[in-house]
């Protein structure tokens, strides 16, 4: 089929080769789609875990804030008790 009359590749052999390459490409594409779906599921799971971690961090920050407010209230109560406590003027200051 060439210009010189010599056939380098038989058309049926070329067709089989192209069909084989096409089948390989389809298989590879399917494998990539499966891997992509697996990765998407993994990313979704990680996003859910990240949301839980953010919620936990917000809870811990709120607890720390409440603990600080409680410590401040205890300090204020101690000061109020100290100011209202009767004091012996003859006793030394501590």
Number of H helices, E strands in the chain: 1, 0
**What is the value of pTM for the model shown?**
0.59
Residue 18 pLDDT: 96
Question: In which band, very low, low, confident or very high, does the pLDDT at 4 lie, cut at 50, 70 and 90?
Answer: low
* Ordered DSSP codes for 25-58: HHHHHHHHHHHHHHHHHHHHHHHHHHHHHHHHHH
The pLDDT tens digits of the residues spanning 11-42 come to 899 999 999 999 999 999 999 999 999 999 99
């Amino acid at each position: 089929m060439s210009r010189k009359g010599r056939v380098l590749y038989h058309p049926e052999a070329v067709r089989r080769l192209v069909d084989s390459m096409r089948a390989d490409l389809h298989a590879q594409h399917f494998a990539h789609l499966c891997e992509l779906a697996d990765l998407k599921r993994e990313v979704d799971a990680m996003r859910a875990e990240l949301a839980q971690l953010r919620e936990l961090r917000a809870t811990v920050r709120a607890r720390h804030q409440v603990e600080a407010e409680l410590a401040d209230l205890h300090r204020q109560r101690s000061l109020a008790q100290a100011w209202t406590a009767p004091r012996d003027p003859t006793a030394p200051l501590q």
